[in-house]
Amino acid sequence: MSQPQLGGAERDLYRDTWVRYLGYANEVGEAFRSLVPVAVVWLSYGVASSYVLADAIDKGKKAGEDFLPLPPWIKCLCAHQVPSPEAGRSTRVTVAVVDTFVWQALASVAIPGFTINRVCAASLYVLGTATRWPLAVRKWTTTAIGLLTIPIIIHPIDRSVDFLLDSSLRKLYPSVGKPSSS
């Protein structure tokens, strides 16, 4: 989750409240994969993906609201000298939506979902070969291992995705639309 708000700044619904945990729904689904029907796991991906999309749309709206277009009378005076303010606004909105969507899709859905899936698959395999525990006990143990792994992987994945985007996609953004770090 984000750092505490300073100086009365507005709380971000998608980063600073309980809503943030909806982005982890797919990890919980992956942890329970051995115990629930696969449709439940896919539903958890639907919840997490909806969270990602909602956050991207929210950041796009905020980027559009933060942009103050020129009043019509200034547009007339500067029509030949200043690029359209709408072009800057749409660039900021596009960059905000794309950056948030890609960051959240990687950091909240794809990478952690894959990681928990592999941790659970490996632990189920190891428990199956190294113990004589009943299958139900092995599955519940695998689920517990998956759930306990979630808080451990969150921050390293977030920082890795920041580094990845800073090293690639964010270099392509026009300077007018560069988002602040996720």
Question: Is there a contact between 116 and 174 (Cβ–Cβ < 8 Å)?
Answer: no
Nearest CA among 16, 21, 22, 27 for reference residue 110:
27
List CB contacts of 139: < 8 A, sequence separation 6 or more. 34, 35, 124
Q: In one letter, which amino acid is 78?
A: C
Give residue 109's pLDDT. Answer: 96
| Interval 44-63 mean pLDDT | 95
Question: Is there a contact between 93 and 57 (Cβ–Cβ < 8 Å)?
Answer: no
pLDDT surpasses 80 at 1:
no
Give residue 83's pLDDT. Answer: 52
Give residue 178's pLDDT. Answer: 55
Give residue 11's pLDDT. Answer: 87
- Exposure string of 134-167, with b = 16+ CB inside 10 Å and e = fewer, is eeeebbebbbebbbebbeebbeebbeebeebbee
Give residue 27's pLDDT. Answer: 97
Nearest CA among 79, 92, 89, 74 for reference residue 174:
92
* Boundaries of every domain in the chain: 18-177
Q: pLDDT (tens digit, 9 = 90+) per residue, 125-142?
A: 999 999 999 999 999 999
